[in-house]
Amino acid sequence: MNPESVGLLAMACLLILIALRVPIAIALIAVGLLGNVYLQSFESAIVQFQLVSWEVASNFVLVTLPIFVWMGALAQTTGLGKDLFYCFNRWFGRIPGGLAITSISCSATFGAVTGSSVATVTAMGKMLMPEMRRYGYNQRLATGSIAAAGVLAILIPPSIPLVFYAAWTETSLGDLFIAGIIPGILLALMFGLYVMIRCKLKPELAPGGEHYSVAERIKALPKLLPALSLMLIVLGGIYGGYATPTEAAGIGLAWVFVIALFRGRLSAMILKESLGQSVSLSGNIFLLFLGGVFFSRFMAQTDVTQFLIESIAGWSDSSFLIMLALLLLYLVLGAVLDTFGMIILTLPFVFPLVTSLGYDPVWFGIFIVMMIELSLITPPIGINVFVMQRVAPDIPLTTVFKGALPFVVISLVMVLLLLIFPEIALWLPGQMKD
């Protein structure tokens, strides 16, 4: 059997294993190992696996991942979410749909601290759903806005998927973080604008809340300082040239420790739980990364990657049409794969294709993360929707999915804008370099 046939057979075996619910990391390692044994020898396959394992373990960018994960897990215990709600509710709560807009504002800021979509939806859902019920909010709008706003957590830096992407593609993590700021803010504004317009047309969907004076609103602004200071430390440290991404992550973690200690939220139990979450999630991601690198090295020997790139590139002369096809591909994959599964299974084939078409790797990082966002609120997986339904178990799952649907459409519009106007993501990193 020639190498190309071996590669195609390996891809088929991988898909079968995933369909049989074998963990993606294990499936990647198993297929890569057997493929290397067939093409070379058992001894060569083991040596290759050892080399890849060492390479992944010594990847400097990946070192930031457990630090950011621990920072986010610890930040959840500090009461930052309550501070954000206190402030944004005084500014937006009085207008129709104000609590939904508060949810979007809080999620964008809290997500920038934790980097976790699930943690953001959980925290915001527990805080905001009781208030939304008290004011008689429509169930679809209430649950949909909270679930959808959670997607902002993985776009606005620091973002765990962007760290993963940077490590895989060797793209500047600092550039990726900066590139995510404007698309993240624009998407949050589009979400908020939709809520405002809809509630203006149908005020009964989301009545206005309690009124606060200008003095009370201004007095609430200092509540934003802990979260904003953390963002400034991480991003400012990277782009001010004071710290590498890894050092900035460490400084950010230390600052969260200070906040938690100052607020009396630092205990042995909290440290144990947050560290346990970090180790568990980081270990899973590292194993997945190892499997992906090992499998992609095997596929490179079969020339299947180059064959697929040439076939897809020959399908159309329009790079825009090819990117639209990739958009549809990610929509389909989002229905069956999780966040990191989508990245690891597609990047070995898609990244060389996209760069060969002339697209910037930083831009594509933002594109792929925005497509991942959609998978968080679309059926049948829709992790954010399931998390929201657990927070409000009396509300049917279908109601939450229907509530999130308008935000899915808005996100797709944002992705199309990013395709048409790449400078949405690339302008700010370019300005920072000048």
What does the pLDDT look like over 386-427, one tens digit per residue?
A: 889 888 888 998 999 999 999 999 999 999 999 999 999 999
In a domain? residue 30: no
In a domain? residue 325: yes
243 Cβ partners below 8 Å, 6+ apart?
237, 251
3-state secondary structure the chain: CCHHHHHHHHHHHHHHHHHCCCCHHHHHHHHHHHHHHHHCCHHHHHHHHHHHHHHHHCCCCCCHHHHHHHHHHHHCCCCHHHHHHHHHHHHHCCCCCHHHHHHHHHHHHHHHHHCCHHHHHHHHHHHHHHHHHHCCCCHHHHHHHHHHHHHHHHCCCCCHHHHHHHHHHCCCHHHHHHHCHHHHHHHHHHHHHHHHHHHHHCHHHCCCCCCCCHHHHHHHHHHHHHHHHHHHHHHHHHHCCCCCHHHHHHHHHHHHHHHHHHCCCCCHHHHHHHHHHHHHHHHHHHHHHHHHHHHHHHHHHHCHHHHHHHHHHHHCCCHHHHHHHHHHHHHHHCCCCCHHHHHHHHHHHHHHHHHHCCCCHHHHHHHHHHHHHHHCCCCCCCHHHHHHHHHCCCCCHHHHHHHHHHHHHHHHHHHHHHHHCCHHHHHHHHHHHC
Question: For residue 60, what pLDDT is reported?
Answer: 79
Residue 115 pLDDT exceeds 80 = no
User: What is the mean predicted confidence (pLDDT) over 235-264?
Assistant: 85
Lowest mean pLDDT among 84-88, 215-219, 261-265, 387-391: 261-265
Q: Calculate the average pLDDT of the chain.
A: 86
In a domain? residue 47: no
In a domain? residue 70: yes
Range of the domain at 139: 62-433
Rounded Cα distance, 368 and 355, in Å: 13
In a domain? residue 202: yes
Question: For residue 313, what pLDDT is reported?
Answer: 67
Q: Give the total number of structural domains in the chain.
A: 1
What does the CA dihedral 133, 117, 415, 431 come to, rounded to 10 degrees?
120
Is residue 63 a contact partner of residue 246, using CB atoms and an 8 Å limit? yes
Lowest mean pLDDT among 49-58, 298-307, 377-386, 398-407: 298-307
Rounded Cα distance, 279 and 7, in Å: 34
In a domain? residue 193: yes
Residue 307 pLDDT exceeds 80 = no
Q: Which position has the higher pLDDT, 157 or 360?
A: 360
426 phi-psi bin (left φ>0, alpha ψ -120 to 50, beta other):
alpha
In a domain? residue 166: yes
Q: pTM of this prediction? A: 0.87
C-beta atoms surrounding 424 within 10 Å? 18
**Per-residue b or e along 350-384, where b marks 16 or more CB atoms closer than 10 Å to that residue's CB:** bbebbeebebbbbbbbbbbbbbbbbbbbbeebbbb
Question: For residue 14, what pLDDT is reported?
Answer: 87
**Sign of dihedral through CA atoms 377, 90, 206, 133?**
positive
In a domain? residue 43: no
323 Cβ partners below 8 Å, 6+ apart?
354, 357, 359, 367, 419
Lowest mean pLDDT among 14-23, 94-103, 109-118: 109-118
Q: Which position has the higher pLDDT, 190 or 315?
A: 190
74 Cβ partners below 8 Å, 6+ apart?
253, 256, 257, 260, 270, 271, 274
Distance, first Cα to last Cα, the chain = 53
